[in-house]
Structures are given as structure tokens and as C-alpha cells.
Structure 1
Amino acid sequence: MAQETSRSIGPVILLGPPGAGKGTQAKRIEQHYHIPQISTGDILRQNVKTGTKLGRAAKAVMERGQLVPDELVCPMVAERLRDVDCERGFILDGFPRTAAQAGWLDAFLENEFFDKSNGCNRLPIVIRLDVDYNELLRRLTGRRSCPTCGRTYNVHLQPPKVDELCDVDGTKLIVREDDREEVIRERLNEFDQQTRPVADYYQAKGRLMTVNGDLPMDQVTAQIFCIIDNQV
């Protein structure tokens, strides 16, 4: 596929549970359309590391074991989205997580993300990766880690060259505690409860596009590119 380097793409939001392949697809979108992938986790860590006013406030909240509130997260996101590399578009990773954040994002984009090429404000292209629950379990329980070097594998999707042994140092791979099935089931249930309102928000506005994430990776990518191309 030819890469895009000039068209204004606008904001792209990928929704989907752990194991749906959002990270892989976000990287492919980034490389194909040359727009940055924006991670709220990275934004938060950078603000804390550099000691910005928002970062100091967020650090104090996290040290109390609490979730960083929207009044701190949203201004950090806004500051990042104003950077010059986001002018043609960007991919949001881990945001919005709530319907309130989705509403804030729409308002921010309507006010500030103005597409000079056609004189229009650009609302997000919202794509949900829909994956069967049992397939999610299969993917997530297939994760293995090297206790020595930290490299990760997946016995179904990215297996080591020698079964159960690390390619780098030959150490026997382990299943981390948070990769055990009972933990994964709990994570998936929590994710569904927390993020369903975000999908409902965009569905109500007629902007939610769904892709079958059970398909082979390249077919999923092709569907995503088709959606983006048809909307820009």
C-alpha cells in the first residue's frame, strides 16, 4: 500500500479490549499515514518526569494511590495535541476512557483542531476492534515472558524459535501473574464495564465504525485503512 504523507487525516481513535490488537494496528496507521500515536500514559509520565505544574499535581495524586482526574489529564492531552506534529492528524491510545472524556475531546477538537485544507473542524474517526471473548482469552493466555531479559512472546501469535525458551538467552519462559486466565477474565470484565459508555457515546452520534478483529492481522489493517480513506 502506498504511504500517505500529505493528506489531512484528522484524529483517529482505536477502541477495543486488551488483546484486540490495538497497539499493532496503531503502529501500522502511524507508519502508513505518517501521523503520531499519542499515548496518555506517555504524556502523564513525561509531565511527571519534567516536573510541570500538571505533572507535579498528578504525581501527588498517584502517590496517594488515586486515579489522576480529568481536570489534570485533559489539559495534558490538549497541550500535546497542539504540537505541530499533530496538525495532519494523530492516533489516540488509551484516550478517551470515559464518556466524559469523549465529550471533552469533541469540544476541544471543535474549538481548536481546525482543518485549514477544507475549512472544516475534524471530529475523530472512531474504530472499534471487535474480537470474540474466547479468542481474546486465547491470545492473552498465550503470553510468555523471559525472567532474565524481559522479552515477551506469544505462543499463538509470536512464538519463540524453540518452544518455551527465550530466543535471546535460552532461559525457560514463564507465565506472569497478570497473564493467568483468572486475572485476564477479571481485566476483560473491568474493561468492558469501564469503556462501554465510550462506545455508546460514539454509537449514539453515528460515528462508531466496527472492524472484525478476529480476522488475520493484514485483513484487519486493510479494513481500517479503508475506513480512514473513506472518511477523509
Structure 2
Amino acid sequence: MTDTQTTRLLIIGPPGAGKGTQAAAIAERYGVPAISTGDIFRANIKGGTELGKRVQAIIEKGELVPDSLTNEIVQDRLAQPDAAAGFLLDGYPRTVDQVHALDGMLEGSSLDAVVLLEADVDAVVARLLKRAEIEGRADDTEDVIRHRQQVYAQQTAPLIELFSERGILVTVDGLGTVEEVAARIAEGLESKLAAPVES
């Protein structure tokens, strides 16, 4: 196989914006793996790997997995053969420090595009309250959901600014049917990823 174009993507958005659903569709469209840090942690723990044991020990203490270990796990995942032609990250990077760590892993080349799913807070809160009711999640009260939205906004605002400055941000309205949102993402990514030179 000759040198092919890699597609390195990231999806970000508030809890309840439908990232997981859209991530799967984007990954399939571009033929790249969807890499979720939560899934990686669970797979490593289940597989009993050295990394998994370290993560489990931290989680069992009720602590957050530190950046250094998260970076290590992502680097390990990106080194696997299926990610050679690209990937779609979901859940990482979450901080500016993690963005810089990712830049280091990608050895100078950065992400090609970042999909930002935007959604009206009230609409997302209503969606999550409905889901909590259906799934019987008594802990997902309106206060808890609104707090999660605030935490997301505080944590990701610097990232959104950074990706915007790099000119790789694709902002998409995350409200509507799955198909409508997917069509908006496809349109936004096509314009962002359009190769400047056709051979």
C-alpha cells in the first residue's frame, strides 16, 4: 500500500449531545477506529494488562486517572496497526496539557479536524432527564445534569479556543435527528478535510 492520506479526528461536545452515536458513524465513514478513552480503560482492565491494573487501582480508590497515565494509554492505542491510517478520538484530550501531549505523540502533525457538537443546555438537560427516566437513573437529577454541563463548559472552553486558533474546528448544531446531525457533520468535515491538491 502506498502512502495514503491519514484522517485524524476528534469529537467534543457536552454530555448528552450524542457524541457516541455520531463518533461511530464518522469512524465508519472514514474507515478509521473510534477511540474512546473510557472504552480503552475498560478493555485494559478486562484484559488484565499492566496498564489496566494501574487504572483499576486508581479507580478503586475513587480517584481520577492522572494525565500521565491517560496519555500513556492513548499513545499505546494510537501505536496499534488499525490506527495507522487515522482515528477518531472521543473523550481525549480533555485538557490543554493533554492536547500538547497528543501533539507530541503525533510527532509534529496535529489533528486534521475537531468536530464540536453544540447543543442548547436546556434541550440537552431535557434529553438527559428523559433518558434517566427511561433507564431508571435516579441519580441523574436536573441539578446533577446541569452541574455536569457547567463542568464541561469550563473544562472545554480553552480547548475550543485552541482548536479554533489552529483553524481545525468544525462547529455543528447537535440538535435534531441522528441523520440530520450526521449530515451536518459530513458537510463540515468535507469542507475542512478537502485536499488542497488533487493528484
Q: TM-score range by the shorter chain?
A: 0.7 to 0.9
TM-score computed with the length of structure 1 as normaliser: 0.74
Counterpart CA distance in 2 for 1:129 and 1:9 is 22
RMSD over aligned CA atoms reads 2.0
Question: Aligned pair 1:100/2:61, yes or no?
Answer: no
Q: Percent identity?
A: 42
The structure, 1 or 2, with the larger RCO (C-alpha pairs under 8 Å, 6+ apart) is: 2
Structure 1: which amino acid aligns with 2:66?
Answer: P
CA shift for structure 1 position 228 = 2.4
SS, match of residue 61 in structure 1: helix
Question: Aligned pair 1:214/2:171, yes or no?
Answer: no
Structure 1: segments with no counterpart, 5+ residues? 1-6, 112-120, 147-151, 153-173
Structure 2: segments with no counterpart, 5+ residues? 195-199
Equivalent positions of 1:29-68 (< 5 A) are 29-68=26-65
CA shift for structure 1 position 9 = 4.7
Pick which of 187-196 and 35-44 moved more: 187-196
Asked whether the equivalents of residues 12 and 115 of structure 2 are also in contact (C-alpha less than 8 Å), the reply is yes
Correspondence for 1:14: 11
Correspondence for 1:197: 158
Equivalent positions of 1:136-215 (< 5 A) are 136-144=124-132, 152=135, 174=136, 176-215=137-176
Counterpart CA distance in 1 for 2:132 and 2:47 is 34
Greater C-alpha Rg:
1
Asked whether the equivalents of residues 170 and 189 of structure 2 are also in contact (C-alpha less than 8 Å), the reply is no
TM-score computed with the length of structure 2 as normaliser: 0.85
State the number of aligned residues.
Answer: 190
Correspondence for 2:197: none
Structure 2: which amino acid aligns with 1:228?
Answer: L
SS, match of residue 15 in structure 2: coil
Runs of 4+ in 1 over 4 A off after TM superposition: none
Task: After superposition, give the CA deviation of every residue in 1:146-174 in whole Å (9 maximum; x if it has no partner).
Answer: 6xxxxx4xxxxxxxxxxxxxxxxxxxxx4
Task: After superposition, give the CA deviation of every residue in 1:47-73 in whole Å (9 maximum; x if it has no partner).
Answer: 233333333322222232211111111
